[in-house]
Each structure stands twice: as structure tokens, then as C-alpha cells.
Amino acid sequence: MALHPLKPCPFCGSQDIRRADNILTDKDCPNITGPTEYYFFCNQCHASSKRCPAPEASLLFWNERTKVPKPRLDWLDYLFFATYIILASFILWQVLDAVRPMISFH
Ligand SMILES: [Zn+2]
């Protein structure tokens, strides 16, 4: 196996990364063992890599695992949101103004 140093967990920073070897069995014939899948997982927060048929590949997947950035609102989003609300209420006002004479009983 090629020497790839295991990177720490991208989520919690733990160095306690372990490899899981799952022997896939058919639930209808549990005595017959199927192929093995490998993945790495963090023993702290249980984040795991993609499951692969080869341990080397799962290691590469673990090392490429990056933190998914949390979407967060910044001032530009609030500006867009405010503009949207103002525009939407303006359009609604116009539509109501156009419709009002049609539904009026006078
Ligand atoms: Zn972790």
C-alpha cells in the first residue's frame, strides 16, 4: 500500500481516523461472503469517506474530504432581500390598483 499520510478530520480536527472494512453479504445468503468495501471514518465525530472497493482509493477520498462551508448571509444577501421585498410589494400594489376597478361594485 502506498504511503499516504492520513489527514486529520476536516470537521473536528481529530487525528483518530480509522479504516472500516465491510464485507458485503447478501441478506438472503448470509453464509456467502461478498466483496469488501473500505472507508475511513473519524472516531470522534463519525464523518466518513466514500466507500470504495480498494483501501487505497478510500484513503485518497478521505484525504480529499473537505469541509462543506456553511451558507451564511452577508449584508449583500440582506440588500438583495430588501430590494426583492420592495419590488414585490410595488408590483403587488400596481396589480391591485389595476384590478380594483374591475372588482368594485360602484
Ligand atoms: Zn471528526
pLDDT for 33 beyond 80: no
pLDDT for 1 beyond 60: no
**60 burial class (0-12, 13-18, 19+ CB within 10 angstroms)?**
middle
Mean pLDDT over 24-34 rounds to 77
C-alpha 61 – ligand 1 centre gap (Å): 15
Contact (CB, 8 A) for 40 and 19: yes
C-alpha 57 – ligand 1 centre gap (Å): 20
For all residues of the chain together, what is the average pLDDT?
A: 86
C-alpha 15 – ligand 1 centre gap (Å): 8
Contact (CB, 8 A) for 32 and 26: yes
Check: pTM over 0.85? Answer yes or no. no
Mean pLDDT over 23-28 rounds to 79
C-alpha 40 – ligand 1 centre gap (Å): 11
Measured CA to CA, the distance from residue 63 to residue 80 in angstroms comes to: 37
Measured CA to CA, the distance from residue 45 to residue 12 in angstroms comes to: 7
Measured CA to CA, the distance from residue 68 to residue 39 in angstroms comes to: 19
C-alpha 16 – ligand 1 centre gap (Å): 8
C-alpha 83 – ligand 1 centre gap (Å): 40
Residue 73 has what pLDDT? 75
Measured CA to CA, the distance from residue 9 to residue 65 in angstroms comes to: 8
Contact (CB, 8 A) for 35 and 55: no
Q: What angle do CA 27, 53, 4 make, to 5 degrees?
A: 140
User: pLDDT (tens digit, 9 = 90+) per residue, 63-100?
Assistant: 988 766 666 778 888 899 999 999 999 999 999 999 88
